[in-house]
Structure 1
Amino acid sequence: MATTIKPNLFTRFLDKIEYLGNKLPDPVMMFVGLCIIIILASGALSAIGVSAYNPVTKETIQVVNLLSLDGFTQILTKATTNFTNFPALGMVLVVMFGIGVAEHSGYFKALMVAAVEKAPFKIIVPILILVAMLGTIAGDASQIIMPPIAAMIFLRLGYHPIAGLVMAYAAALGAFAANVIIGVSDALALSFTEAGLKTIGADVPVNIAMNWYFMTASMFILLAVILFVTYKVIIPRLGTYTSDGQEQDHFTELTTVEKRGLRYANYTVLALIVLIILAAIPETSFLRNPTTKGLVDGPLVQGVAIVMAFMFFVPGLVYAVVTKTAKSSKDIVHMMNESMAGMSGFIVIVFFSAQMIALFAWSNLGLIIAIKGASLLEGQSGIVLIIGFICLTATVNIFIGSASAKWALLAPIFIPMFLFLGYHPAFTQAIYRVGDSITNPITPMLAYLPLLLSFAKKYDKNMGLGTLISNLFPYTLGLGIVWTIFVLIWYWTGLPVGPGGPIHIDPSALN
């Protein structure tokens, strides 16, 4: 499928990752195997008394033995709720209802054809990256929506669609914290930073925008990194794309009816955006939190899955009606059914990955790994401390996918540690968010990787997890190197990382 390119050292390295990764069993069986390993490890480590001190609860954490009657009882009785309560499952399926109508009605195809025809060639790919990065302000929507859209655009640009798929995924997750717009991730990070300060009773003013300068600058730096990796590594590596399937669409000029349908559908999108903005402005708006009057913790953001599904469903419906790709309500329902049929593989994988994540949490292995790793940084300072913290967070991120869960654990450790070394909590939080982002594309602890694999199989039914990760790894490597260097440069300049967010603080002035 891919054209042959002259192998260099890095290409051979990626080929090795792909080769070894594809030797792994099917993802479902891999998750089953990991579940067995976790159960056995919990029994062995519990028997030898492995433990760690938890600074959050002020208690010593012991490894919980799942290789016991109580453990097996919990595994059996909680398996269903592990699956149904899996965080990404509901959001993915709800959003896909809307995407299904937008895709199968022909709206997406018409939109992409028009975009490629009208937009300057050099701008299309950077815009895709930027949109994927900006989309993270609403939570997890970007990594669900943007990869399949980018794949479709890359296909129409003559590139391999999987190159677009991994690029958008890496932009949404690998640069997750970098954004010019303050969003959900800023609010969540702040809440646990404040909790870290409370553990030592330190009265240090912090605010939701205290990383804004650094994250805004990072967004443009990382956009360039992702663009470079895409053009210099991923596109040449994947080569040309050929398929016997109907995915291989070529650009054809839109008909008059299609242009009219696209115009009305786009007007609908603009109207919906305006209506949402107008509805959200009043402090008494139903889209705001009734207590805090905020949007971040209000129905608009908390219900982002429904909002995004609606934003795709309505213009898709309008396009279908105008172009007559849907002649009745049955056709619309059929479009949604087609979308759900394509998610069957993802649902199966999610069931088993949900069990693995639950076992990891029940056994306390994830927490103990994080705490033990944090102890390695004690006594370090300056550049070593910054790089060490980024590497530690990036490594822990592979085992604990939730950014909130990690910072809830690490903030009480590192906020006080850095504070007494003379670093403001804003800077500590910024460093954490760098480490928390860069390994997101390759961690199996996020449900979005199985989703990405299901999207990739649309274009290559033999796509394995190893191939997918080998094409995501260059983004993790590039982002990790450049973003770490950028942190160090920012540290050397002494510039504040945001409003009310200096790098240094006088420890002697603490209460």
Structure 2
Amino acid sequence: MVEISEKDTEKPRGSRFLNLVEKVGNKLPDPFILFILLAALVMVVSFVFNLFGASVIHPGTGEELPVRSLISGDGVEFMLTSMLDNFTGFAPLGLVLSIMLGIGLAEKVGLLDYAIRKTVVKAPVALLPYVAVFIGIMGNIASDAAVVIIPPLTAIVFYKVGRHPIAGLAAGFAGAGAGFTANLLIAGTDALLAGISTEAAQIIDESMTVSPLVNWYFNIVSVFVLTVVGGLITNKIVEPRLGKYSGPEVEEEESSEEDPKAKKGLINAVIFGGIYVVVVAVAVIIPTSPLRGENGSIVDSPFIDGIVPLILIFFVIIGVSYGVTVGKIRNGKDVSDYMAEAIKDMAGYIVLVFAIAQFISYFSWSNLGVLVAVEGAEFLKDINFTGIPLIIGYIIFTAALNFLITSGSAKWAIEAPIFVPMFMQLGYAPAFTQAAYRIADSSMNIVTPLFPYMVIILAFLKKYDKNAKIGTYISLMLPYSIAFLLSWIVILLVFFYTGIPLGPGAQTLL
């Protein structure tokens, strides 16, 4: 293992900057309070702009819209009478909670954890870095659970085959953390971001809906590219730098307590899940199917509009199949109990949504959203800062913002009402803006000291290197962040210049 001097461990390169970022970030309020404060800020700004008679011409209707003050009789009436509707009608809420009923069930009965463990352990030694990154990326179907489950598993697997365990830890964490937004499947993240994007896009076009599928093709390509990039970073940079492992011996976590029925449960889950996928696929292929849209369309169809319920049913089927086989589900009450546990885990998100919904609603009702979008777009046109340089600038801005706000949903809830309408005015589709946001947010997750799981990974790191500190952690993960971000920008540019849809019916330009 690389020798680290006492001087280097006490004062890692860049420690002053990182300490400053941590100090500033720690002074930010809790996300719930942050959005309450942002809503209050919108109230004050709307009052000032209204006082000076600010207005904007709506680009879609040509109607002149004055900035409406929330600190007025009409404003107070709106805030009081719309509060509950803002919350219950917030698009991401139903989408995320619905899809988490199924994914949560599969997680609670142990299916996702078992499948991840078996996939990593069975991988060939030469492919381990690539498999570790791939499993990390795919693990985001289980949301944040993947960040906790996968890295220590990949570290143990590397150790067992004679490779450096820290390299395994880094590869798994890079996939689960920096590759969080990519997946071959539609995950809760897709539903969450698409819902917020819909709310933001409707500031300009009330009829616009952003589907959870709008970045699907982009995500599929991203999975394979990032898997290769992450594996190469592990093999060519991270593991050579670590050298030969000479740390303490590690007690291997054998699966002696593994339920013998688990393997059969996984097989049954695959069988019943496969049958369901085939049935849905056949139903979509049939030209007269009710899942087809007008004139037999698939892109604009009940199949696409109902993708979240279809995904929910899929996870319920595989979760129940596994749970019944291993004996964790004996009756219908067990199913509802596991689903209830999954929703309990979402309690913090539900509370946060209440504040986010008010902020976005106030921003929209006051017409500040349209004003910022139109005037911002005109300003960018005037200084000729448009096109790809603008998109890359936005990606860098969001990546930097990650050092202050690590919650992806919270950050998008702040950015979307501003940048989605603004970029729409410049001709970019919400799907394109959302993709640009995702790659910036995801790639920088693992190098910000404010990332909530950094402490957990640092604890795992100390298991193999007792001298490891934050500088060790940052230097270990930084190559992945930079490589992922650059690779993702290239992928986005390829989609942009070739005109390949980012998802079903989702072009980069309006």
TM interval, shorter chain, is 0.5 to 0.7
Matched pairs, number: 416
Whether contact under 8 Å (1:52, 1:62) holds in the other structure is yes
Work out the CA distance in 1 between the residues paired with 2:357 and 2:346.
16
How far did residue 429 of structure 1 move? 9.6
Aligned counterpart, 2:300: 297
Instruction: Check 1:498–1:16 CA distance in 2 against 1; reply closer, same or farther (3 A cut).
Output: same
Q: Which amino acid aligns with 2:179?
A: A
Q: Is 1:391 aligned with 2:393?
A: yes
Preserved contact between residue 56 and residue 64 of structure 2 (Cα < 8 Å):
yes
CA-to-aligned-CA distance 1:391-426 (integer Å, 9 cap, x gap) = 3587699677797995665445447xxxxxxxxxxx
1:281 aligns with 2:285: yes
Contact (CA 8 Å) 1:366, 1:400: kept in 2 or not?
A: no
Aligned-pair Cα RMSD in Å: 5.1
Q: Name the structure 1 match of 2:150.
A: 153
Q: Distance in 2 between matches of 1:224 and 1:11?
A: 31
Output aligned runs, 1:35-74, within 5 Å. 35-74=39-78
| Contact 1:151/1:164, CA 8 A, preserved across alignment | no
Q: 1:475/1:374 Cα in 2 relative to 1: closer, same or farther (>3 Å)? A: farther
The verdict on how the C-alpha distance between 1:404 and 1:322 changes in structure 2, with shifts beyond 3 A counting, is same
Question: 1:169-318 to 2 correspondence within 5 Å?
Answer: 171=179, 173=181, 250=253, 252=255, 254-289=258-293, 291-318=294-321
CA distance in 2, matches of 1:252, 1:14: 39
Q: Among residues 331, 334, 342, which one is paired with 1:331 in the alignment?
A: 334
1:435-493 CA-to-partner distances (Å, cap 9, x unmatched) read 454445599xxxxxxxx97x999999xxxxxx9xx9999988766655557778x79xx
- In structure 1, what is the equivalent of residue 249 of structure 2? none
Amino acid of the structure 1 residue aligned with 2:313: F
In the superposition, relative to structure 1, how do residues 129 and 80 fare at CA in structure 2: closer, same or farther (>3 Å)?
A: same
Check conservation: 2:50, 2:68, Cα contact below 8 A.
yes
| TM-score normalised by the chain length of structure 2 | 0.64
Is the 1:400–1:406 contact (alpha carbons within 8 Å) kept by the matching residues of 2?
Answer: no
The match for 1:366 among 364, 369, 379 is 369
2:271 partner amino acid: Y
Deviations 1:355-410 (A, max 9, x none): 111111122223322333323333566x9753135435876996777979956654
- Paired residue for 1:497? 498
Is 1:346–2:353 an aligned residue pair?
no
Give 1:85's aligned residue.
89
Question: Please, which runs of 5 or more residues in structure 1 have no aligned partner?
Answer: 133-142, 177-183, 197-210, 237-248, 416-427, 444-451, 461-466, 501-511
Q: Closer, same or farther in 2 for the Cα pair 1:29/1:172, shift >3 Å?
A: same
Distance 2:32 2:305 in 1: 30
Unaligned runs of 5+ residues in structure 2 are: 1-5, 156-165, 185-192, 206-214, 242-251, 402-410, 445-450, 459-469, 502-510
Contact 1:390 1:432 (C-alpha < 8 Å) held by counterparts: no
After superposition, what is the alpha-carbon deviation per residue over 1:203-225, rounded to whole angstroms, capped at 9, x for unaligned? xxxxxxxx999998777655566
Given that residues 128 and 150 in structure 1 are in contact (C-alpha distance below 8 angstroms), is that contact kept between their aligned partners in structure 2?
A: no
Query: Secondary structure in 1 aligned to 2:320?
Result: helix
How has the CA–CA distance of structure 1 residues 52 and 220 changed in structure 2, closer, same or farther, with 3 Å as cutoff? farther
Match 2:106 to one of 88, 98, 102: 102
Matched residues in 1 for 2:263 and 2:223: separation?
34
For the 8 Å contact 2:47–2:71, the answer to whether it is kept is: yes
CA distance in 2, matches of 1:96, 1:152: 18
Amino acid in the other structure paired with 1:361: S
Cα distance between partner residues in 2 of 1:350 and 1:163: 32
Query: 1:29-71 CA distances to partner (integer Å, 9 max, x unpaired)?
Result: 2211111111111111221234444433334443221111101
Structure 1 pair 162/271, CA: closer, same or farther in 2 (3 Å)? Answer: farther
- Contact map agreement 1:154 1:161 (CA 8 A) in 2: yes
2:123 pairs with 1:119:
yes
Amino acid at match of 2:348: G
Identity of aligned residues (%): 27
